[in-house]
Amino acid sequence: MWFSTPRLLVGLYGLSLAAVGSSAADVDFMSVRPTVAKEYSGKGGEPGPKYFKESDFHYHYDGRFADKPLSEDETVPHLSELIRTYLSTMEDLGAETWIMHGTLLAWWWNQKIFPWDNDLDVQISEPTIHFLADYYNMTEHHFEIPGVEGGRTYLLEINPNYVIRSTDDKLNVIDARWIDTSSGLFIDITAVRKDDERRERGDPGALMCKDGHRFDETEIFPLRNSYFEDVSVKIPFEYVRLLKKEYGSKSMTATTFQGHHFNDVTEVWDKQRKRQFWRRQPVDVPVRTTPLGPLLR
Amino acid sequence: MASTHQYHHDTESLDYSSDGSDDVPFLPNAINPSRRVKRYTRPLIEYVRNEWQSNTKYSGSSPDRSEIPGWVQMVMSIITAPRFRRYAIIYTTLFISCLLGWEFVLSPRLKEHSELTKSLDPNSKEKVGGWYGTNALPSFEGVIQLKNLDPSLLPAREAPGPGKDSSRRLIVVGDVHGCRIELERLLDEVTFNNKTDHLIFTGDLISKGPDSPGVVDLARKYSASCVRGNHEDRVLLVRQELAEVDAMTDTSGDEFMDGLSTSGAQKDLKLARKLTDEQAEWLDACPVILNVGHIPTMGQVAVVHGGLVPGVDYDKQDPFSVMNMLTIDLDTHLPSSSRDGKKWTKFFNAHQSVAYKSTKHADSQATDTQATTVIYGHDSKSSLSIKTYTKGLDSSCVKGGKLTAFVITDGGEQQVIQVRCDNYLGE
């Protein structure tokens, strides 16, 4: 079956896909769409056990590929390559994908990843997740990256519970991951599905994700072509409305966030060095080195 | 002293007479008030000569009366007096109308004014952490943010002399939505002359109505200017996608395309295929913002589909918002495509009048050049909406309303001309 265990796959390294150019020669969405793209409805099955696990050291690292988080300086460059390789792979496969949530907000500000971020959110449509599961689950994609010796290998892993179409499947809200095997960082990929319940109630464009987010087709489609981290990316049609709905108006206007300040000249989020005077300075607390006497213990 | 006294009685007597008490025969005496005053110096009741005073039958209530304290009697007599009642009605009505006027007109106006003033106060910017327009504007493939109108198309600065026609005119037309026949009628109505007049469309030329390609062809024929409306935006994006997947004529893959469940999306897809390459290219060349330039009496004029946020440069105005805005968040100045909130035009006009008030009287020339006037469409619910700095031209032609032309002639003279439209939506 296509959802073999990931550990086994790491062993099958040589068998998987490799290199950027090669994927274009393989199956793309357009050529096989009649076999995958059809109407999906119903629950699809009972909720399953949790498939994607987070590492014990950080919720946004895949524990199979790392045992510690990256340093702050290394994180953003890794994430940048992560999204660039993902977007270019999906483009090669003809698989439509677009950014959402925090990544869309970061795009709004300066089309770059937030310096404090350690996750990325992208969405795909339901036919696309079926296509990726049928043809590209557990494929490895090797990229040569300037300044990175030996390049990096990325793994596309589909959650086998993607066939379950209900928000009751609470442990499997993420449908797929694009994983940087060098660092354990990954992108959460969620499929946007037709919302049967709301459509029955007379809402023809109703969409939903297993993570509980609800959309309308007119909010997302037709997608716009823009740029993120200097590569082309698709953006939901009503991006301002979606961002306002999810994060409120201030998220698109307030220039101070997560200890960073948006510099309107350089258009970059600068880390705030000095703390605001009204906030209490963190004090270096003296640490005892000699053990306490036995009486006190 | 004597004269005031006399006057007092005079009015009193006049009042009695107007009460129409016919058993007091002094009406003719009103002609000679001085004589009457001499005769009636005591309460009129005492002049009654019938048995009313003597007969006990009529004084039966007097013992009861004495039990009621004097002041209550007085109050009662005041309240029961017809004059009091009349005034009471008048004053109550007056009071209620004042109250309603305050509650529903004056108080909301004052509140709105203070809200707008507060939201324009630079100090409140710090409080909310920033205003709309600071982010690095994302660029969209194939979308032109800003174009400047060729200055040679502008009307002359000076108004034409008496009896003379304007040398040049700008004719700005609201949302046409494929109503080609109405557009032709409107051009007849304004006696459009391609040599001296320049046509500008506020976006949404296409969709909904009967002949979208025909409207685009007409606009192209007259080398009109236009801006990108939300409907052009959708249809052009669908077309872009069709080109990407090579499905411009091939409909076999439609069932695999995303986002086509709604009837609106189906119509957009149909129209995207119906447009020729030339028509689509012409529409794609329409910028989000058209900077018309300076027009006397209007200042800097910009044409957009939805609206603009004041105080934000044209190249910092988010394109989706420019094409879709209806309201604005007063705290953050973030525009919204939904109807709940403060109308952006209110905010825009308030901003302009605050910003240029100081110079208004001192130097009207300075106001002229600095202030911005926005001509827009999109808001068919508000219909024609001509304010000082905002001119809304969407009068819902396609729904059987009117098609509006805003004509600007030499010297910045403005005129609104409308034609009636058929209802193509059958709503």
DSSP string, B180-206: HHHHHHHHHHTT--TTTEEEEE-S--S
Superfamily of domain B146-420: Metallo-dependent phosphatases (3.60.21.10)
Distance from CA of B308 to the nearest CA of A (A): 15
**pLDDT (0 to 100) of residue B1:** 41
Name the band, by pLDDT with cuts 50, 70 and 90, for residue A14. Answer: very low
> Given an 8 Å threshold on Cβ–Cβ distance, is B336 in contact with A109?
no
- How far apart CA A157 and CA B9 sit, in angstroms, is 105
Q: Is A258 near chain B, with CB under 8 Å?
A: no
**pLDDT (0 to 100) of residue B57:** 67
Q: Which pLDDT tens digit goes with each residue over B91-134?
A: 999 999 999 999 989 988 898 888 888 888 888 888 888 999 99
Q: Is the pLDDT of residue A5 over 50?
A: no
- How far apart CA B88 and CA B86 sit, in angstroms, is 5
Q: What is the DSSP letter of B227?
A: -
Distance from CA of A111 to the nearest CA of B (A): 7
Q: Is A224 near chain B, with CB under 8 Å?
A: yes
Structure tokens of B393? 């031209």
| Interface mutation vs chain B, best among A228, A249, A255, A261, most B CBs within 10 Å | A249
For B79, residues 6+ apart whose C-beta sits below 8 A from its C-beta are B85
**pLDDT (0 to 100) of residue B148:** 97
DSSP string, A35-79: HH-S---S--S------S---SS-TTB-TTT-SSPPPHHHHHHHH
Which residue among B129, B136, B141 sits closest to A111, beta carbon to beta carbon?
B136
Q: Is B240 near chain A, with CB under 8 Å?
A: yes
What is the pLDDT averaged over residues A174-180? 96
Name the band, by pLDDT with cuts 50, 70 and 90, for residue A57. Answer: confident
A226 neighbourhood in chain B, CB within 8 Å: 138-141
> Given an 8 Å threshold on Cβ–Cβ distance, is A217 in contact with B256?
no
Complex ipTM > 0.85: no
Name the band, by pLDDT with cuts 50, 70 and 90, for residue A87. Answer: very high
Q: Is the pLDDT of residue A12 over 60?
A: no
For B229, residues 6+ apart whose C-beta sits below 8 A from its C-beta are B175, B202, B203, B204, B205, B305, B323, B377, B378
**pLDDT (0 to 100) of residue B355:** 79
Q: Which pLDDT tens digit goes with each residue over B254-297?
A: 888 888 899 999 999 999 999 999 999 999 999 999 999 999 98
CA atoms within 13 A on the CB side of A49: 1
Q: Is A96 near chain B, with CB under 8 Å?
A: yes
Q: Give bridge partners of residue A122 from the DSSP assignment.
A: A99, A189
Q: Strand locations in B215-321, DSSP E?
A: 225-226, 289-295, 299-303
Q: Which amino acid is at B13?
A: S
Helix, strand, coil shares of chain A, percent, nearest 5, are 30, 25, 45
Q: Give bridge partners of residue A98 from the DSSP assignment.
A: A123
Q: Is the pLDDT of residue B395 over 50?
A: yes
A247 neighbourhood in chain B, CB within 8 Å: none
**pLDDT (0 to 100) of residue B275:** 96
Q: Is B313 near chain A, with CB under 8 Å?
A: no
Neighbouring C-beta atoms of residue B9, cutoff 10 Å:
16
Q: Which pLDDT tens digit goes with each residue over B35-58?
A: 555 566 777 777 777 777 677 666
- Which element (helix H / strand E) includes A192? strand A186-194
For B71, residues 6+ apart whose C-beta sits below 8 A from its C-beta are none
**pLDDT (0 to 100) of residue A187:** 96
Q: Is the pLDDT of residue A166 over 70?
A: yes
Radius of gyration of chain A (CA): 22
Q: Is the pLDDT of residue B343 over 90?
A: yes
Query: Percent of chain B having pLDDT more than 90?
Result: 60
> Given an 8 Å threshold on Cβ–Cβ distance, is A255 in contact with B134?
yes
**pLDDT (0 to 100) of residue B68:** 78
Q: What is the DSSP letter of A135?
A: H
B253 neighbourhood in chain A, CB within 8 Å: 30, 33
Name the band, by pLDDT with cuts 50, 70 and 90, for residue A149. Answer: very high
What is the pLDDT averaged over residues A158-165? 94
**pLDDT (0 to 100) of residue B334:** 96
**pLDDT (0 to 100) of residue A159:** 95
> Given an 8 Å threshold on Cβ–Cβ distance, is B138 in contact with A107?
yes
Q: Is A262 near chain B, with CB under 8 Å?
A: yes
Q: Is B140 near chain A, with CB under 8 Å?
A: yes
Which residue among B238, B333, B336 sits closest to A244, beta carbon to beta carbon?
B336
A256 neighbourhood in chain B, CB within 8 Å: 129-130
Q: Which residue's entry shows tokens 């006009």?
A: B349
Query: Percent of chain B having pLDDT more than 70?
Result: 84
Q: Is the pLDDT of residue A273 over 90?
A: no
The answer to whether B255 and A40 are in contact (CB under 8 A) is: no
Q: Which pLDDT tens digit goes with each residue over A205-225?
A: 999 999 999 999 999 999 999
Name the band, by pLDDT with cuts 50, 70 and 90, for residue B158. Answer: confident
> Given an 8 Å threshold on Cβ–Cβ distance, is A205 in contact with B139?
no
Residue extents of the structural domains in chain B:
2-67, 146-420
> Given an 8 Å threshold on Cβ–Cβ distance, is A244 in contact with B141?
no
- Which element (helix H / strand E) includes B320? helix B319-324
Q: Is A171 near chain B, with CB under 8 Å?
A: no
Which residue among B139, B259, B329 sits closest to A249, beta carbon to beta carbon?
B329
Q: Give bridge partners of residue B420 from the DSSP assignment.
A: B402
B264 neighbourhood in chain A, CB within 8 Å: 218
Spatial CA neighbour of B289 closest among B200, B379, B166 = B200
**pLDDT (0 to 100) of residue B66:** 61
Q: Is A217 near chain B, with CB under 8 Å?
A: yes
Predicted structure pTM score: 0.81
